[in-house]
A and B are shown apart, each in its own frame.
Chain A
């Protein structure tokens, strides 16, 4: 198993540009999520999905869109990049959100800089 994969690893955008961060998992996990990691703030949940076709907002959803057309893929779209979106982005998946017992598996992260 490749686990959770993310592309690209690094990205530099200009203000106003759009892009999609890719995330895929090959573990048949129901639950997938996107976090951003900023110094001193830990991980903050952007969006999550509990299954194909179902998504919901997390703590900091503004400026980001997601969709979940398949179990495997959960792309994160930045609609119009802003310097405040400079961060490290992590995708994570879990076998099931039910019961609260399933740990999350994290991808290696995408380091995004918006100038």
Chain B
């Protein structure tokens, strides 16, 4: 089947630390991959995406590379800020499908 597995949280980092949130996927076809972010009390917002192997999505200092050989799409940021505190969701959708599949979310707290 199709599924997304994210690293368990919560994650707590000091400001300016390096962030990695792991995401791996299983897909029956060729997926597009996404990272969404949810700030407290809000809906999900698209953070970045990649639609084919070796593509790198980037936005607001966050990056993720679509790795087909390891079925992964890990989220990274070189220097986190307090304002990055949120829940991050990895997701996929198939090019031939009509559903989106989300991971369980990883809560990030950045402390000053």
Q: Which residues of A contact B (CB under 8 A)?
A: 4, 31, 33, 35, 40-43, 45, 48, 50, 56, 58, 90, 92, 97, 99-109
Contact = CB atoms under 8 A, between A and B. Distances in A.
Contacts of B98: 31, 48, 50, 56, 97
Given A42-B89, A42-B105, A43-B102, A101 B95 contact: yes
Nearest to A3: B43
Interface in B87-110: 89, 93-100, 102-105
Interface stretch (B11-19, B45-53, B60-68, B71-79): B45-53
Most chain-A Cβ atoms within 10 A of its Cβ — which of B31, B32, B98? B98
Most chain-A Cβ atoms within 10 A of its Cβ — which of B42, B95, B100? B100
Interface residues of B, number: 25
Contacts of B32: 100-101
B82 interface: no
A41 B89 CA distance: 11
Contacts of B94: 100
Contacts of A102: 93
B43 A103 contact: no
A56 B99 CA distance: 10
